[in-house]
Every structure is written in structure tokens, then in C-alpha cells.
Amino acid sequence: MEYYNIINQAYLDAVGKPDSRIVYKLQPLDHWENAVGEITADIDGSTSSTISVNAQNGVRRGCSLSLINENDKYTPSRDGYFWYNRKFRIAAGIEGADTYWHPQGVFICTGSEESGGTVTLKGTDKFGILSGELNVGKCTKEFSTDIGSGDIYVAEIIRMTLMRDMGNGMPLDPIQPQIDPYFETAKLYADMTLSVGQYYGEIIITLANMYGADTYYDPDGRLIFRRKATYNIPSWYCHQGYLWRFPENDPNIFAGAAVSRSLDGINAVTVSTDNANGEIFSYTAKNRNAESPINVKAIGERYPDDPVVYISVGDTTRETAEEKCRQYAEYLLLQSTSNSVAETFTSPFVPHFDVDRVIAYKDSDYLIKSLTLDLTAKRMQVRACNVAFLPSNQNISE
């Protein structure tokens, strides 16, 4: 039998069995994301095919997929599977007594290269249709909100943005997003403006910046918009549970061939705002975690190139303004710290892996920051950081 998005003991056992094999399939999709075909046998096993995933807001996933192109079957064309704005879904599975499929993303074709009977398709995830990578969804007249005319809810703005007309009668994204319930009743607290030439996806990115939220497309092709916890980050991640446990001294893991470390890690971020009365408020988040090798007590305060990040919080109280600054400063500090202390290793391919999830590695909790999935070699390069090194305000004082 075939199973989708299932992680049970039978699947976990199948991942490690020598007689199990990794299989892939590609489904061309229409704009409403109904499958209009399925490609398995024509995936070229002799030419590199990769998927990259990075834990960031906006576009997270990209792919390069090689297909055997007999009779120009997969050459991008107006009437073919692949063309402007055409979508496709990639899934990977473990095939044994049963087959367990896990999605790897919904992509939009951005181009192709053809050589020697092979076509290599390039793709970006669906945020590319919102943020300008595909030159779609550009604002042609100034857009602005008016909170003075009534309550405007964050979730409502996101859905309205996705339903904007591409210019051909179709919405930018017809798939319902997955939005943190908090934002269903969270009111916009400062007006937003979009100038001519900007892209409508910048509205969603701006909202994420305002509220310290993550926004991206998940492996199933749904837009995610959710709050990021900022209090006691290490404990919050540890309570998520493990995506996977690598045994100590696992012989299948080896260090990445090109691992680099920089010694310029950021451990302090200041966020500032002002209100209608000209009062200025700010908050500085610092990595005070004694276990972290880049905590401020160990190496001093290290700020980014732009040491003060400004946000707009509208006409709010001191308490509200300072709290908004705190939330965003600690959100930015988390991103900076996790990138600074990350390390890389390579392992066999595990289909259900994703970024921003916790694994057991070297007998510790690690947070996945990026993945490079080599579909041809059936391996993956994992970049992850030790959760114990993430910022915490509980271990040492100023």
C-alpha cells in the first residue's frame, strides 16, 4: 500500500533497512494544484537533481531536477507540462513492503537547461510568485491601509493578498493558508503602504516583521504564518520532540566536504520605534546564555552592521511599544545566533526532514537550519545548530 505524510514505526524501520529503496515522483499541477500528470520513470538518475531548503521568511525552497527528455516531452512550452507560472509537486518515498511518501515542496518553473537528451528544470517555491522572483503580483498603484476607518485583522490581510488577481482572472495563490489562530483576532496596529513597483508579497513579509512571525511555504505548498516563541527559546525547541535521532558515532554520517566557520557571530540586536508624540522606545536583545560560545559575557557585545532596526508600531502605549520591540529583537537575535553557531554534516536521505525542526545529533538537541537534498546520490547535507547555544536570558546577568 501507499501512505502519505505518515511517520509510524513501520516507516521509521523502513528508512534504515538495506532492502528499502528511495523513490521519487513529480506531479505537474494546474493553477489550482490539481495533478495533471505523474512522472517517475523519466527522472534522470545519472544527472544531479537537488532540492535546497533554508529556514528563512519568504522563499525557502528551490530545486534543480533532471528529466530524460525523449522527443522533447518535457521541454517547456505553452501546451506542455512546464511553462510560465506552471507548478509541480515533488515527493520522495521509502519503498519496501509498503511505500511511504513525503512531500518535498510545490515549485513554480523558473527556467530550464537542455543538453544531450536531458532537460534540467529550475524551480522556486510559491513565495516566488509573491515576492518578485517571477515578476508577478507587482503593485501598479499605491496601496495603503487605514486603521482609522475600523479594525483590520492580520489574517484577513494575508488572505486578501493571496486572492489578488494575477492579471488573468486567477488569484496569486488559490490554496488556503495555515495561519496561527492568534492572528485571526490580532488587529493591525500601524498602517502599511505599498508603493508602485513593489510586490504584494511584501505585505506578508512586513506583517511577519511587525509581529515577529515566520512566514513561508511548507512541503505541501501551503502558506504558513505563525508566531515564533521568544521566551526561553532552548526549552521551547526541546519540548517539540525529535524529528529524528542519529545514534552517537553513527557510521553513516560524515562531515560536510566544505565546512566553514566565521568568527563574527552576532549576539546583540536593538530594535527601536517611536509614536505619534515623537517618543522613542527601544529594546536590546542579547545572548546571555552561559552555554553559548558567543554569549556577551564571553566575547563582548557584537551587533550587526545596522545596529538599530526600526519598526513602526503606530500610536501605542509605552508598554505595547516596548513589548513589540522586545519580540522582534529577540526574533532577530535567534536567527543571527543560530546561523552563527551552525555546523554541517552529510547523512543518508530521510524523506520527512525539514528545517526549523529538532533532531538528536552527537547526543544533543540540534535545530535544522538548512538542507540540501541530493536526489541522485540519495544523501542530504544538513546544517544545524546546538539548541543549548541559542539565546537565553536566564543564565547570566548583564
Q: What is the full DSSP assignment across 121-185? A: EEEEETTHHHHSTTS-SB-SS-EE--GGGS--BHHHHHHHHHTSB-SSS-BS--SPPEE-THHHH
Phi, psi of 328 (to 5 degrees): -75, -35
CB 393 within 8 A of CB 290: no
Please write the tens of the pLDDT for every residue from 263-322.
678 899 999 988 777 788 899 999 988 888 889 999 999 998 888 888 877 766 777 788
- pLDDT of amino acid 255: 60
Based on the domain organization, do 39 and 17 belong to the same domain? yes
- pLDDT of amino acid 312: 77
- pLDDT of amino acid 58: 95
Based on the domain organization, do 206 and 157 belong to the same domain? yes
- pLDDT of amino acid 325: 87
Please write the tens of the pLDDT for every residue from 200-251.
999 999 999 888 899 999 999 999 999 876 666 667 777 778 899 888 777 7
Report how far residue 207's alpha carbon sits from residue 188's, in angstroms, rounded to the nearest whole number: 9
Examine residue 343 and state whether it is found in any structural domain, yes or no: yes
Through-space distance between the first and last CA atoms of the chain, rounded to whole angstroms:
58
What's the number of domains the chain is made of? 3
Single residue among 227, 247, 282 that ends a domain in this structure: 227
Q: Which residues pair with 281 in a beta bridge?
A: 273
Single residue among 177, 201, 227 that ends a domain in this structure: 227
Based on the domain organization, do 113 and 171 belong to the same domain? no
Please write the tens of the pLDDT for every residue from 373-393.
999 888 999 999 988 888 875
Report how far residue 104's alpha carbon sits from residue 206's, in angstroms, rounded to the nearest whole number: 27
Based on the domain organization, do 238 and 385 belong to the same domain? yes
Q: What angle separates helix 201-211 from helix 318-340, to the nearest 10 degrees? A: 100
- pLDDT of amino acid 315: 65
Report how far residue 152's alpha carbon sits from residue 165's, in angstroms, rounded to the nearest whole number: 21
Based on the domain organization, do 238 and 223 belong to the same domain? no
The whole-model pTM stands at: 0.90
Based on the domain organization, do 384 and 279 belong to the same domain? yes
Domain range for 109 is 2-125
Based on the domain organization, do 70 and 207 belong to the same domain? no
Examine residue 138 and state whether it is found in any structural domain, yes or no: no
CATH number of domain containing 187 = 3.55.50
Based on the domain organization, do 219 and 275 belong to the same domain? no
